[in-house]
């Protein structure tokens, strides 16, 4: 479950880049068409110096091999200025009417700018993690001295011109995380979305993946500079890790879409307040597996009293298992494992009456929706079989850090929906936090030095990306 649009911090000084507009393809299902108006311009003032990262591809037979890739900052955080000049197109007061009287003119008049290596570090708090001379991960600061809050980056191919498309059906995805400074109301998120591999680059978008364009997710976010609030961009989303040190969840969000799709109106976009949320193109709630929400309150948290200690680095493994153990099978289970101190730790089993299991399956999801009295949009959008088709087509990897003005992250780590009594409805209690004190104004004041680390990222055949002293039950029987 994810609410609102993921945005960065706005700046008005010319010395600090302002947040930029996002460009998405507009789609009229079932055929995809790029927008036919003016083009999104690529800036030439500042060179794009995206950080590199090494991600490993693994097989049982040959082990893990390094693959050189890159990380690129989302367009929403970038400086947007007038073409041929240095004036901000967007400030804290909004779009500059001189350059942006309407979206079409704004695209023609404004350029999306690059970010230097120093800018990634100083302006946006993006730091490479080294093991010897090899870049094995990234550290994302929650805030920077210049005033930026949060960041979102995408993994690209080595040349930076296209996003890396991960095809994970009948595969596993593994990474190490460090969330010890991530307090209530904060979220370090790692997830896959079915973005266009070129970021929508083409005749109407000269920026593309090199400048972090083309974002979409299952919440159908609004295009940044689009004035029509009833339009959005939807695509399938697979949340691998949404977490702070008090709560964590992983969640498939299937959609009735292929690639990024433009939605129009409250029904398709799921924007309305009268049940439209469950009539749109995407399953916005998803089928989340949050161990705390499932009743295992001593499983994940800070300190040695928890089975998985979030005060210390940990390895998380996500396996996308098919019904027959082949690449042509149907996705039947999304399994989570942890590795800490060399021990493989199985995910906590559900303690909710009527809901059994410790992994996401259609049976688990259906039972959970019934027990929590939640609308089952997950099955309406095809459940795991639908998600599996997207994993087979390929998805873009995003890593981020953020806070939440809309719900104060209560959907992850506190009681949600607000006003519901956890004693009277299962599933309301999602973590031990208090949403009242997770207002971003408080979170930012109390956590100026917060950060998250993502490193040792691997993907490959089932059982090839991790090792431990305790093996679990067979994957297939």
Active site residues: 237, 242
User: What DSSP letter does each residue of 71-95 carry, written as one string?
Assistant: EEE-GGGS-EEETTS--BSEETTEE
Q: Are 200 and 461 in contact (CB under 8 A)?
A: no
Sign, CA dihedral 191-345-341-433, equals positive
Phi, psi of 155 (to 5 degrees): -85, 130
C-alpha–C-alpha distance, residues 444 and 403, integer Å: 9
Residue 82 CA: distances (Å) to CA of 95, 115, 146, 238, 258: 11, 16, 22, 36, 34
Task: Locate the DSSP E strands across 195-283.
Answer: 231-234, 237-243, 248-253, 261-264
C-alpha–C-alpha distance, residues 279 and 296, integer Å: 32
Which residues, in sequence order, are CB contacts of 355 under 8 Å at separation 6+? Answer: 294, 364, 367, 368, 371
Omega of the bond prior to 140 within 30 degrees of 0, cis? no
C-alpha–C-alpha distance, residues 209 and 201, integer Å: 7
Which residues, in sequence order, are CB contacts of 83 under 8 Å at separation 6+? Answer: 41, 108, 109, 110, 111
C-alpha–C-alpha distance, residues 29 and 86, integer Å: 39
Structure-token pair, residue 294: 């499932």
| Burial (CB count <10 Å: 0-12, 13-18, 19+), residue 348 | buried
Rg (CA), the chain: 21
Q: Are 164 and 450 in contact (CB under 8 A)?
A: no
| Burial (CB count <10 Å: 0-12, 13-18, 19+), residue 278 | middle
Which residues, in sequence order, are CB contacts of 304 under 8 Å at separation 6+? Answer: none
């Amino acid at each position: 479950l994810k609410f609102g649009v993921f945005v960065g911090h706005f700046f008005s000084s010319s010395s600090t880049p302002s947040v930029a507009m996002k460009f998405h393809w507009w789609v009229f299902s079932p055929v995809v068409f790029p927008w036919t108006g003016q083009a999104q311009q690529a800036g030439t003032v500042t060179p794009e110096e995206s950080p590199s990262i090494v991600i490993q591809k693994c097989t049982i037979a040959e082990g893990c091999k390094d693959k050189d890739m890159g990380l690129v900052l989302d367009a929403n955080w970038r400086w947007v200025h007038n073409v041929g000049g240095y004036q901000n197109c967007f400030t804290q007061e909004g779009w500059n009417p001189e350059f942006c009287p309407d979206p079409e003119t704004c695209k023609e008049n404004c350029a999306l700018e690059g970010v230097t290596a120093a800018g990634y570090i100083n302006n946006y708090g993006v730091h490479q993690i080294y093991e010897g001379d090899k870049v094995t991960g990234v550290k994302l600061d929650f805030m920077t001295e210049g005033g930026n809050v949060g960041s979102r980056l995408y993994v690209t191919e080595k040349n930076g011109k296209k996003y890396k498309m991960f095809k994970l059906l009948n595969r596993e995805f593994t990474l190490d995380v460090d969330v010890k400074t991530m307090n209530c109301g904060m979220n370090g998120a790692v997830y896959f979305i079915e973005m266009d591999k070129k970021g929508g680059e083409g005749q109407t978008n000269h920026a593309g993946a090199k400048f972090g364009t083309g974002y979409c997710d299952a919440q159908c976010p609004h295009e940044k500079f689009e004035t029509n609030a009833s339009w959005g961009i939807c695509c399938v989303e697979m949340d691998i890790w949404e977490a702070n040190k008090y709560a964590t969840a992983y969640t498939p969000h299937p959609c009735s879409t292929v690639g990024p799709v433009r939605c129009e109106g409250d029904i398709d976009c799921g924007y309305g307040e009268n049940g439209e949320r469950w009539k749109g193109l995407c399953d916005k709630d998803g089928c989340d597996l949050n161990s705390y929400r499932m009743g295992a309150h001593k499983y994940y948290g800070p300190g040695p009293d928890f089975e998985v200690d979030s005060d210390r680095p940990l390895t998380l493994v996500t396996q996308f298992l098919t019904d027959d153990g082949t690449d042509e099978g149907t996705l039947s289970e999304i399994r989570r494992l942890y590795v800490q101190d060399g021990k493989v730790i199985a995910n906590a089993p559900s303690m909710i009456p009527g809901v059994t299991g410790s992994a996401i399956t259609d049976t688990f999801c259906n039972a959970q929706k019934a027990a929590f009295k939640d609308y089952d949009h997950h099955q309406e959008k095809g459940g795991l079989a639908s998600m599996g088709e997207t994993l087979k087509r390929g998805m873009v990897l995003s890593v981020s850090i953020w806070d939440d003005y809309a719900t104060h992250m209560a959907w992850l780590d506190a009681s949600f929906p607000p006003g519901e009594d956890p004693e009277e409805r299962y599933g309301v209690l999602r973590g031990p936090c208090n949403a009242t004190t997770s207002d971003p104004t408080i979170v930012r004041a109390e956590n100026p030095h917060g950060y998250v680390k993502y490193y040792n990222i691997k993907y490959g055949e089932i059982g090839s990306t991790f090792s431990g002293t305790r093996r679990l039950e067979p994957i297939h029987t």
